[in-house]
């Protein structure tokens, strides 16, 4: 009896010049994949976030996430604490940690996301993303949370966390 052969995928080193990559509108933010299908171990993408833009509270079950702040002023919620992050800051979020971020500045902000391993989150982003025809005209606002929840459940890339009534301030 022969044993089944495992399929081997070979990846090669990649160079992506500045300003290139597949771009999508995600929740009114311009997201550009930098390392996407080139690796199973890491996904890298850049997000340009307008003032007051960001991501609602969520977690990832199977991926760790690192955010490198390139431009702007951001506030991150990491579990029970808040941190301010300015250009050059790094925010590491281990899998299963509830987190969110908001551009609290008055100018466009830019983050570099590094996901490890690559996979479910990137699949979710591709499913909800809208093609970019004009990088100056954001799409996807306001977000359809029912649609986002359904796609999140299907891909397993993200779980949105609804705050309890005690956490909501009036």
Domain assignment of residue 11, yes or no? no
The torsion angles phi and psi of 35, rounded to 5 degrees, stand at -125, 115
CA gap 86, 67 in Å, rounded: 11
DSSP 8-state symbol, 41: S
Domain of residue 27, CATH code: 2.60.120.10
pTM of the predicted model, to two decimals?
A: 0.82
The proportion of the chain whose per-residue pLDDT surpasses 70, expressed as a percent, equals 85
Domain assignment of residue 166, yes or no? no
CA gap 22, 121 in Å, rounded: 15
Domain assignment of residue 73, yes or no? yes
**Lowest-pLDDT choice from 18-27, 47-56, 72-81, 124-133:** 124-133
pLDDT tens per residue, range 145-159:
777 777 777 777 788
pLDDT tens per residue, range 97-117:
999 999 999 999 999 999 999
The total number of structural domains in the chain stands at 1
Domain assignment of residue 12, yes or no? no
């Amino acid at each position: 009896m022969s044993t089944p052969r495992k399929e081997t995928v070979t990846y090669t080193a990649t160079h992506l010049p500045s300003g290139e990559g597949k771009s999508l509108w995600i929740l009114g933010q311009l997201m550009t994949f930098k390392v996407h299908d080139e690796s199973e171990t890491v996904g890298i993408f850049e997000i340009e976030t307008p003032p007051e833009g960001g991501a609602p509270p969520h977690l990832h079950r199977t991926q760790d996430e690192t955010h490198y702040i390139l431009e702007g002023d951001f506030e991150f919620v990491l579990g029970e604490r808040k941190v301010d992050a300015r250009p050059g800051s790094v925010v590491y979020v281990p899998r299963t940690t509830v987190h969110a971020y908001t551009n609290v500045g008055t100018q466009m902000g830019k983050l570099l996301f590094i996901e490890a391993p690559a996979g479910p989150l990137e699949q979710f982003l591709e499913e909800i993303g809208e093609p970019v025809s004009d990088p100056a005209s954001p799409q996807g606002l306001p977000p359809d949370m029912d649609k986002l929840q359904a796609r999140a459940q299907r891909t397993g890339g993200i779980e949105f966390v609804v705050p309890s009534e005690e956490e909501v301030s009036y």
